[in-house]
Amino acid sequence: MEEKQCTIQRKVSVTGAGLHTRQCGTLTFNPAPVNTGIRFRRIDLENRPIIEADVDNVIDTARGTTLGKGGVKLYTVEHVLASLRGMGVDNVLIDIDVEEMPIMDGSGKEFVKAIKEAGIVEQNAPRNYYVIKEPITYRNEVLGIELSVEPCDTFQVDVTVKYNTRVLDKQSASLHDLKDFESEIAPCRTFVFLHELETLLSRNLIKGGDLTNAIVFVNKNVSPEELDHIAQFFKKPKVEVREGGTLNNVDLYFENEPARHKLLDVIGDLTLIGKPIKGHVKAYKPGHFSNTAFARAIKQAMLQQE
């Protein structure tokens, strides 16, 4: 049975602060015609410029995936893109009135909720897959990173992370059926190590963080004074380190939630290829830079076949 392209039935909005900029904005998903793909429109700017969700528009991958075109930027797009791909939405126009996507709880859960609220409808055109015919691989030998995709009748993803720390070492996660995306992957939140958190704070980043949108792993001895400083910054009465090595800011949904979140990021960044793919993706120690470099390699192979 031929799969059809899908859009949403009606527009729906999500409001929240950006993780790094703290800009509070509203993101609105709008229905779009067949073959539109995913497009972002900065409605706060003159002429309301549009940036396509295309890996050619990636301009930065530090702490998130940033798109840019004609001097206009959009930060932290990966969770929105993963949610659309995970829910099978091909065509949508996304209005945004600030520079950064809302971080919400650090996962794709609220975006999925909004997409479901809007309703998903089939359109009168076949879904245009890029079917992987030959293996494609991206490697970074220095960092020990490898991403590959092999022929497969469906879209499958396996992810392994490895951090060589006491509190978070090696974890794996898999998604072999997109029907499981909503329950198994979408709720999984971003994470950070405490030493990274301190560095980000010193660089005036994560201004929109409030300890409810990230899992914080503590892989060093922390003084009471340091914990008090973190609590004060995030306006919390007190923070503590749990026995498992995380701050007591959130409870884990899954033991391997970090690996599942990295899988969410892989799906989001690979959405920038411009077409859904049929292939089995395997990612070892992925990150936004490697994800988008891999997406470029796949897109290049796709264009060579057309």
Would you please indicate which residues are annotated as catalytic (active-site) residues?
288
Q: Could you report how far apart the first and last alpha carbons of the chain are, in Å?
A: 24
Distance of CA 139 to the CA centre of its chain: 21
Q: How many whole angstroms separate alpha carbon 222 and alpha carbon 220?
A: 6
Is 67:123 a contact under the CB 8 Å cutoff? no
Backbone dihedral region for residue 12 (phi beyond 0: left; psi -120 to 50: alpha; all else: beta): beta
Distance CA 290, CA 264 (A): 14
